[in-house]
């Protein structure tokens, strides 16, 4: 299958590599020319903009930072819509506001372009090994058509509902992840303050009801002071902002999300926004005058 891929960042580059390795023909586009060159070296073709990608491909994947970037790439000058033909399909795998996903989809539909929103969870490690969790929204027949292609990049691909539903699921995921990471940081800070080895506390609780993927992924990072980003604080802020906006639009109460946003904003003010979201432990360390290690 010939696939367009726009957005070769932390997530997009390994995802696109997995498509190439699976034998798909790729046409790629990104501002980062080193990333483009890496894909071209694997056999992909470079295109200068979305319009040129769309001229060559029936299906295009976008993996971009936020809603405005997706709108610009899809509908802006030299965007996908300018080069697309009737029946072109856009699969947006970015994590954006579901309200905006629906609006972009409606605008593309006027030009005969179909759209799925299919954001992912799992961070860079799972993007590299092709075991991401994909949550997709849009027409079921489109989902079925591209399911096998999406599975090349994923361990699970789940259809959630109409367009926008994928991003609703992703925002729900990000709420749960943020609250869990904060809880891990709070618990380990408590243990350290109480004079108990937080590493041993982690080992003691991980097999019980408190055990989780988040605990096993983030507690070791906190304990080893490894805050190399798998998913940056600034990106989680973006997701929580989208969650708050979407929730407020439908009068859904999300008080924990609001609290986590303020905690992450405090970390950003302290200069930690480029670090992994496991840096949430630093919020507790600062106010508790303790270091978890």
* Active site positions, annotated: 170
Angle at alpha carbon of residue 175, lines to 170 and 179, rounded to 5°: 145
Q: Is the dihedral of CA 130, 136, 142, 145 positive or negative?
A: positive
Mapped onto helix, strand or coil, the DSSP state of residue 216 is helix
Tell me 232's DSSP state: B
* Short-list 198, 184, 201, CA closest to 277: 184
- Residue 74 and residue 105 in contact, taking contact as beta carbons nearer than 8 Å: no
228: left (phi over 0), alpha (psi -120 to 50) or beta: beta
In this structure, are strands 2-6 and 132-137 parallel, antiparallel, or unpaired? Answer: unpaired
Tell me 6's DSSP state: E
């Amino acid at each position: 299958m010939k696939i367009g891929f726009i957005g070769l960042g932390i997530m997009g580059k390994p995802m696109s590599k997995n498509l190439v390795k699976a034998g798909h023909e790729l046409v790629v586009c990104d501002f980062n020319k080193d990333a483009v060159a890496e894909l071209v070296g694997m056999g992909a073709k470079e295109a200068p903009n979305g319009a040129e990608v769309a001229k060559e491909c029936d299906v295009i994947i976008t993996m971009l930072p936020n809603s405005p970037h997706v709108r610009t790439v899809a509908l802006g000058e030299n965007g996908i819509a300018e080069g697309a033909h009737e029946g072109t399909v856009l699969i947006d795998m970015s994590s954006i506001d579901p309200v905006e996903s629906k609006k972009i989809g409606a605008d593309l539909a006027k030009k005969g372009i179909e759209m799925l929103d299919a954001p992912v969870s799992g961070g860079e490690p799972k993007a590299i090994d092709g075991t991401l969790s994909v949550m997709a929204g849009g027409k079921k027949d489109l989902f079925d058509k591209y399911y096998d292609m999406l599975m090349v990049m994923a361990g699970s691909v789940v259809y959630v509902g109409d367009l926008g539903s994928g991003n609703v699921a992703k925002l729900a995921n990000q709420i749960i992840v943020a609250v869990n990471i904060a809880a891990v940081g709070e618990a380990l800070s408590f243990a350290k303050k109480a004079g108990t080895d937080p590493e041993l506390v982690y080992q003691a609780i991980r097999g019980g009801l408190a055990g989780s993927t988040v605990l096993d992924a983030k507690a070791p990072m906190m304990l080893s002071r490894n805050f190399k980003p798998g998913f940056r604080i600034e990106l989680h802020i973006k997701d929580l902002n989208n969650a708050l906006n979407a929730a407020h639009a439908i009068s859904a109460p999300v008080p924990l999300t609001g609290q986590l946003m303020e905690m992450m904003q405090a970390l950003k003010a302290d200069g930690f926004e480029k670090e992994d979201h496991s840096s949430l432990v630093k919020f507790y360390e600062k106010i508790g005058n303790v270091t978890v290690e």
